[in-house]
Chain A
Amino acid sequence: MKKYSEIRFKPLFLTLLMVVMMAAPITTMAAQPTVNLGTTSTFAVLAGSTITNTGTTSISGSAGGNVDGNVGGDVGLFPGTAFDGKASVTITNGALHITDAIAIKAKDDLVTAYNDAAGRTPVTIIPSELGGTTLKPGTYASTDGTFGITGTLTLDAEGDPNGVFVFQMASTLTTASASKINLINSARFCRTFWQVGSSATLGTNSTFVGHILAMQSITATTGAVIQGQLLARNGAVTLDNNTIINGFCDISTVTPPVVVPPVVTTARLHVIKHVINDNGGKAVAANFKLHVKTLGKDISQSPAPGVESPGTSYTLAAGTYAISEDAFTGYTASYSGDSDVRGNITLAPGDNKTITITNNDNAVTPPIIPAPATIRVIKHVINDNGGKAVAANFKLHVKTLGKDISKSPAPGVESPGTTYTLAAGTYTISEDAFTGYTASYSGDSDVRGNITLAPGDNKTITITNNDIAIIPIISDNGGGTIPVVTTPEVLEGNVVTTTITGGQLPKTSTHLYEILLLGTILTLCGAIGLKTRKRYE
């Protein structure tokens, strides 16, 4: 019985405890509710015209948590589309929404939130300089419509995590270099809103907290750390080596957010491509492809076309880099600036180095056109034994590498013969068979009609055909081709050869075995296929 009651009471007790816990924050809730950001809450950065980033910027949201909607590290843009320097922005737990439906909706919600914040009352008028002051939850404005922070602003929620701070500015918000916002006694960044009538500028290496809802633009200068959102309705958001943390808004946060200022591990490298065209060259810097490599591999932004001064700027981790460019014919490349002569450079953290690659066009040497050579082929026919042929009956060939040149074959021509203009090389002069005549070469060729032409040569070959006294047997004309060097001995027979030295052994393989093998494989495939065809059906 005792046990039973214990079981019954445990959940009851727990429920009671929960109700009390939930009631506690409600009862201590501040007078003014938080500004409803709507879908804008998923964005860390939202801009109207452009987003421009220089250097390495990290934007992060929180994963999972949904305490009051601030989970997003999203970056949005509408109606603009240009996000410069996107490559060196690291987004964690967020996505890019460039003029998409989500960005459009967020922009609508931003207008609502902006109007909400701008309409909050009652307004406490305080001096425009917030540095060195401590403020409690409420709505604040200054007489001149601006706010500035030089030094440290402390926001004290007096233990109420839902204490809302609204700062209304008719014109600008400007924070000084290294300025800071300190959150104490449960004050939270997600309950801090800055409604800026025109533009906001966050100083170098400053630490800023809260949601900036600006009518125009927001500029975060070098090294500024933001916990919250940069929401610009119409203008641009400009980033430079920033850290933006938006997301999980921890209810238990009683201490100021620990924002680690970014340790500078990066260096800047400027690569300038300079092209000198003093010899008629036409290339411009962009024709050259530049590589920035480390450990033999291109970095993510490399290769890129060359850019004349001020060149291309890279933000790189400290280390050793090699700058190179793709080969470009007709130009000599040289390195100057902070690299060695081969384009190697070592960057220490914080370095700001410049390399110039100068390409000077080479003096153009006119291409060497090989001087043509000429060859004059004279056909001479001697008819001292009753022959009737004339030079034009003989068909002459001029061949190189076994092929007739374009003007060959041609009928023979008695002196002065036929002149061919040819590129330097080796040519063979021959003629088609002609019964009853012997042929012999004279002039600049060898006895077989081979001739080698050097550039500029002017050579002459004479092929003399003499009719043979006794024509052995009148065979069908053109039954074969006469070797161009035909000696009477050849025609009379008695030809003997001697074996040459070092002849190439003939190829004596047929493809019959391959065909046999192929046939066997095909037959086997067919047989097996036929047998097992049931399986495919």
Chain B
Amino acid sequence: MSKVKLSKGKHSLIKYLFLGFMVFGIGCISYAMFNIWSQSGYFIDASTSSGYHMPNTAKLPRNDTDKLQSESTHALQASNKNIYPEHPVEGENIGILIIPAINRKLPIIQGTSDKELKKGVGHFIQSVLPGENDNCVISGHRDTALRQINNLKIGDQLIVQTWSGTFTYEVNGTRIVHEDDKTVIVPMDHAVLTLTTCYPFNFIGNASDRFIVSAALVKSK
């Protein structure tokens, strides 16, 4: 009698173990799929998304060494570049990046750490803000925000809306570089938007290359 019971108990234990596997597995898949979908920005209306607001001029600048460096080195020559009344702080929403070719509307967040990249695409702090007369670098996750970025063709438009205006860039080239490449984030003498993401796109783990999209400013209003 006890033998029968034991085998019955064993039976259900194994069954529940496998069921647990399946439930956990499906949970993982759902979590990943939901994140990919939600962070891809297909339907995000950045103008109403949390965190995006017109700058409050009274807001105090943050204690951030990186920014400090940029600020102190550029306070003097800022006269012809002052499109932005205030420099955004890390984690602040700068505006929206619209990529019509792959149907994206992505919030642009100041900063490129994990926290910011979860919310949209990140603006590389040590680069100029969109629309300014230099190299503006924006990064995004290869598997969420900037997924399918490889479908961009030369001439495709990248539209950046910020509180200082709408800037339209046209893709003029893509390339793949190593993650330690130092020729991507460099100053330019004209307004350039550089999108960076990881490459290869479907790599499991930390991809060691970067996919770079360069676009030149064609229109600003």
Would A512 and B72 count as touching, CB distance under 8 A?
no
Q: How far is the CA of A491 from the CA of B61 in the complex (A)?
A: 8
Bound: A529/B141 CA distance, A: 35
* Chain A residue with Cβ nearest B63: A481
Q: Does the CB pair A520–B29 fall under 8 Å?
A: yes
Partner-contacting stretch, out of A20-28, A318-326, A500-508: A500-508
A311 CB to nearest B CB, Å? 58
Verify if A486 is at the interface (C-beta below 8 Å from B). Answer: yes
Q: Given the interface contacts A524-B25, A525-B18, does A495 sit within 8 Å of B71 by beta carbon?
A: yes
Tell me the minimal C-beta distance from B25 to chain A in angstroms. 3
Cα of A484 to Cα of B183 in the assembled complex, Å:
32
Is B112 touching A493 in the complex (CB atoms < 8 A)? no
Determine how close the nearest CB of chain A comes to the CB of B215; give it in whole angstroms.
Answer: 15
- How far is A473 from B60 in the complex, measured between Cα atoms in Å? 10
Nearest neighbor of B113 in chain A, beta-carbon distance: A506
Inter-chain contacts of A486 with B (CB < 8 A): 61
Pair A536/B14 contact, Cβ less than 8 Å = yes
**A495, B74: Cβ atoms closer than 8 Å:** yes
How large, as a class, is the contact surface on chain B? 35 or more
Kindly state whether residue B45 has any CB partner on chain A within 8 Å.
Answer: no
**B132 CB within 8 Å of chain A:** yes
Q: Verify if A259 is at the interface (C-beta below 8 Å from B).
A: no
Tell me the minimal C-beta distance from B125 to chain A in angstroms. 8
When distances are taken between beta carbons in the complex, the residues of chain B under 8 Å from A525 are: 18, 21, 25
- Is A522 located at the chain interface by the 8 A CB criterion? yes
Q: Is B47 an interface residue (CB 8 A)?
A: no
Interface contact A526-B60, CB-CB below 8 Å: no
Chain A residues within an 8 Å CB radius of B19: 526, 530
Question: Which chain B residues (143-176) contact chain A, with CB distance < 8 Å?
Answer: 143-144, 146
Instruction: Give 1 or 0 for each of B86-128: 1 = CB within 8 Å of chain A CB.
Output: 1101000000000000000000000011000100001011111
How far is A129 from B84 in the complex, measured between Cα atoms in Å? 123
Binary flags per residue of A394-413, CB closer than 8 Å to B gives 1, else 0: 00000000000000000000
Which residues on the A side are within 8 Å of B204 (C-beta)? Answer: 513-514, 517
In contact, B18 and A529 (Cβ under 8 angstroms): yes
Complex contact B7–A537 (CB within 8 A) = yes
A480 x B63 contact (CB < 8 A): yes
Distance between B99 CB and nearest chain A CB, rounded to angstroms? 15
Question: Within 8 Å of chain B (Cβ to Cβ): is A448?
Answer: yes
When the two chains form their complex, are residues A481 and B87 in contact, meaning their CB atoms are under 8 A apart? no
Given contacts A512-B144, A514-B204, are A507 and B198 in contact (CB under 8 A)?
Answer: yes
Q: Are A430 and B60 in contact, CB atoms less than 8 angstroms apart? A: no
Contact of B197 with A508 in the complex, beta carbons under 8 Å: yes
Q: Is the CB of A530 within 8 A of B127?
A: no
Residue of B nearest to A480 (CB): B60
CA distance A234 to B185 in the complex (A): 92
Residues of A within 8 A of B54 (CB): none
Contact B22 A527 (CB under 8 A): yes
A304 near B: Cβ within 8 Å?
no
CB distance from B72 to the nearest CB of A (A): 6
Contact B32 A513 (CB under 8 A): yes
- With a cutoff of 8 Å between Cβ atoms, the chain B residues found around residue A480 in the complex are 59-63, 89
A493 CA to B79 CA, complexed, in Å: 11
Asked if A490 is at the interface (CB within 8 A of a chain B CB), the reply is: yes
> Closest approach, in angstroms, between the C-beta of B182 and any C-beta of chain A?
4
Q: Give which listed residue, A490, A506, A515, A536, contacts B117 with CB less than 8 A.
A: A506
Bound complex: CA of A435 vs CA of B58, how far in Å?
Answer: 11
Q: Are A503 and B185 in contact, with the CB atoms below 8 A?
A: yes
Contact of B22 among A472, A483, A503, A530 (CB under 8 A): A530
The interface residues of chain B lying within 8 Å CB-to-CB of A252 are none
The answer on a CB contact under 8 Å between B185 and A489 is no
* CB <8 Å contact, A519 and B21: no
Q: Flag whether B135 is at the interface (Cβ < 8 A).
A: yes
Please state if B22 and A494 are interface contacts (CB–CB under 8 Å): no
Tell yes or no: B136 within 8 A of A by CB. Answer: yes
Contact, CB under 8 Å: A512 / B35:
yes
Q: Chain B nearest CB: distance from A174 CB in Å? A: 80
Q: Tell which of A491, A494, A499, A526 touches B126, judged by Cβ atoms closer than 8 Å.
A: A499
A498 to chain B, nearest CB (A): 6
List, in ascending order, chain A residues with CB within 8 A of B185's CB. Answer: 499-505
- Contact indicator A475/B18 (Cβ below 8 Å): no
- Say yes or no: is A300 at the interface (Cβ < 8 Å to chain B): no
Contact B60 A495 (CB under 8 A): no
A497-B57 in contact given A519-B28, A526-B25 (Cβ < 8 Å): no
Q: Which residues on A sit within 8 Å (CB–CB) of B127?
A: 497, 499-500, 503
Question: Could you tell me if B198 and A499 are in contact, using CB atoms closer than 8 angstroms?
Answer: no
Instruction: Please give the distance in Å from B177's CB to the nearest CB on chain A.
Output: 8
A520 contact set on B, CB distance < 8 A: 25, 29
- Chain B residues packing against A (C-beta within 8 Å): 7, 10-11, 14-15, 17-33, 35-36, 57-65, 67-75, 77-78, 81-87, 89, 112-113, 117, 122, 124-129, 132, 134-137, 139-144, 146, 177, 179-188, 196-198, 202-207, 210
Can you report 28 A-B residue pairs in the complex whose CB atoms are below 8 A from each other? A475-B60, A480-B89, A483-B71, A486-B61, A493-B84, A493-B86, A494-B78, A497-B129, A498-B134, A498-B187, A499-B188, A500-B126, A503-B126, A503-B137, A503-B185, A505-B180, A505-B184, A508-B117, A508-B142, A512-B32, A512-B35, A518-B28, A519-B26, A519-B30, A522-B21, A524-B25, A525-B21, A526-B20
Residues of A whose CB lies within 8 Å of any CB of B are 430, 433, 435, 447-448, 472-473, 475, 479-487, 489-491, 493-510, 512-527, 529-530, 533, 536-537
The 7 tightest CB contacts between A and B, nearest first, are: A519-B28, A522-B25, A526-B22, A503-B185, A526-B21, A523-B25, A473-B58
Known: A505-B177, A536-B14. 18 other contacts (CB 8 A): A448-B65, A483-B61, A483-B64, A483-B71, A485-B72, A496-B87, A497-B67, A497-B74, A499-B136, A501-B187, A504-B180, A504-B185, A505-B180, A515-B29, A516-B28, A519-B27, A520-B29, A526-B18
